Amino acid sequence: MNREERIRELISKMTIEEKVSQLSYTSAAIPRLGVPEYNWWNECLHGVARAGVATVFPQAIALAAAFDEGLVEEVATAISDEARAKYNEAIKRGNRGQYWGLTFWTPNINIFRDPRWGRGQETYGEDPFLTSRIGLALVRGLQGPDPEHMKAAACAKHFAVHSGPEKLRHTFDAVVSKKDLFETYLPAFKTLVEGGVEAVMGAYNRTLGEPCGGSYYLLRDILRGEWGFKGHVTSDCWAIRDFHEHHKVTNSPEESAALALNAGCDLNCGCTYPQLTVSYKKGLVTEETIDRALTRLLRTRFKLGMFDPPEQDPYSKISGDVINCEKHQKLARRAAEKSIALLRNNKGLLPLDDSAKRITLVGPCAANPHVLFGNYYGISPRFVTILEGLGQKVRDKYAINLEYRHGCLQYEENHPARFSSQAGFFTGADTDLLIAVMGLDGSMEGEEGDTIASDSNGDRDTIELPPWQLKFLRQLKDTGKPVILILTGGSPIAIPEDIADAVIFAWYSGEKGGEVIADIIFGDLNPGGHLPISFPASTSQLPPYENYDMKGRTYRYMAEKPLYPFGFGLSYTGFSFDSLKLSAAAIRAGEKIKATVSLSNTGKRDGEDVIQLYIAKKDRSADDPLCSLRAFRRINVPAGKTVNADFELPSSAFESVNAAGKSVLVPGAYTIYACDAAPAPVSVERGAPKPVEAVVTVK
């Protein structure tokens, strides 16, 4: 029998109670039919999480900062190798519990529309195109090359229009225009569905009045109807219970379970789907609908080889020696190298040479391993903090006096008496320069319930550097000695422009982060990370947090000048965009244009830059984006050399979304920009090379 026949036969032998038992994340064993128990809940946002030792890669937002699809697919392949090794060993030991399965609830492809959102660190930033490409690369690496024999199952979440506030996520209704819905919030989900993602997770909130996990519009009309999704849908955890307890759209658990199942949610992470036996007896759901959901879930398990002998599973021999192996550790390091962003380098302060004999390292994040984790993380046997990385660098290569002081607290202001005594130490007389490591960690921003140092359920009320850290930083600057500021975090941090001579944004950089930062500071690495999200200059630039209208948000709709623009990142060498040549001056529906970009390295050392192509409609309406990223490529350019890169732009790259939510190709003139940051004056002011541009006529 083929797989579908086996599934039908298996279902035909189950009772209603047994069928329902398979629709919860803790799927029960059915010994008489040879069905083992299975726990669907597993996590691997940037490494296998919550299941002991694993390689801890940089956080998702940092992976996006690499602007490198190949790197992300390589990271995801390493993660799925470790996942299979853990699963294989767990099955041998009879462990079928949570966090040991092969169904992973990642990637988070929500749009990071507001930098106050604590879970924005889990995303790939604010741009739908970048999110689509990075998310798809991760899915390819997790699921493997054979869709009929998956290595692991990926899940696109949270569908849809979900990005805070965390404290309201169980109750709020995200009201959006059809234009914003299809232009910003849904493109990445569509791309991943077209790319074969196995699962989709509904969001906690309502969207346009319907709870997302029970939305006929999202799940039936768009996901399965318009897009033809064939995989399974899971609820977020305990989200279906919210239907009657918080959203008040149903009156009982059995009504909530029926609403979700009938809309197309197959799996319940939570406690509500066991009530489907009651729903069935009351006539709220049919056995046919239960069978439909069960078929989808069993299909996923069959694809993962759970009902076949091990010798038929191409991944059954992956063993535990791949877990945190040397190859994966080097990959974690390389991912950090490509993601950490240099944002300021006044008068070429960096990289340091051996002329600085006395360096003082200060700040609460320097020795804090939590600034390497982010959220949803595994356990590495060796996390290298920034203090350790710099100490190792100084020991191995430089005759430098490195001194460390904690300086100020991470989460609150020092006691007044202690603050003055600490500040008095930093007169600047006994040091040549100061390296300050400030910012956030996972206790200050993240998911509701996990952030013990947050007053806003994991979100931030303001995006500025915490005031007690800023106060201390000003005292360091007042010494008159050069200050290198290293910021940690998973979201934009607004700082005064004059607060430091050099600024490095380190993200949550993974287990090798400290080593990489030390290599960047001393020039053994040339930084090459680029921001996947705009850094506003202040909280006052942001629209109301609860408003899901895109007006005023992200580089595509923001009229005000940001602190650092989307796509921005400096290097220790210089680049110039020399030309942008097009294969045609006009394009029609169904056609493609080739764009050739000439990029020169004008400096004295090799470097990597990210070529970014943006398209802007010349006669755009007030609701259209200022410009939109439509292609990118990370490219290495040797010192003094010029490299040409070819891009293919389909006619769909010039489409816009109308008020009805439909993509349309509007005739007229369009400007294509080639640059390495969003094309705004502030980009060049901050040190980005000047863009080159060309005009295309859409007919």
d(CA 27, CA 21): 6
What's the first-to-final CA gap in the chain, in angstroms? 53
Number of neighbouring beta carbons within 10 Å of residue 550:
24
445 has catalytic annotation: yes
DSSP assignment letter at 512: T
Q: What share of the chain is helix, strand, coil (3-state, %, to 5)?
A: 35, 20, 45
Residue pair 223/325 in contact by the 8 Å Cβ criterion: no
For the chain, give the longest Cα–Cα distance: 81
Sheet (strand 692-698) strand order: 586-587, 692-698, 668-675, 607-617, 628-637
* Phi-psi map region of 343: left, alpha, beta (phi>0 left; psi -120 to 50 alpha): alpha
591 has catalytic annotation: no
CA angle 382, 443, 413 (to 5 degrees): 110
Q: Which strand (E) or helix (H) includes residue 578?
A: strand 575-582
Query: How do beta strands 401-405 and 232-234 pair?
Result: unpaired
Residue 519: both structure tokens together? 């290599």
CA angle 469, 462, 459 (to 5 degrees): 105
**Pick the catalytic residue: 236, 242, 266, 519?**
236
Coil, strand or helix at 121:
helix
**Pick the catalytic residue: 242, 445, 515, 608?**
445
Residue pair 490/440 in contact by the 8 Å Cβ criterion: yes
Number of neighbouring beta carbons within 10 Å of residue 3:
14
Residue 174: both structure tokens together? 């995200």
DSSP assignment letter at 35: B
For the annotated catalytic residues, the residue numbers are 236, 445
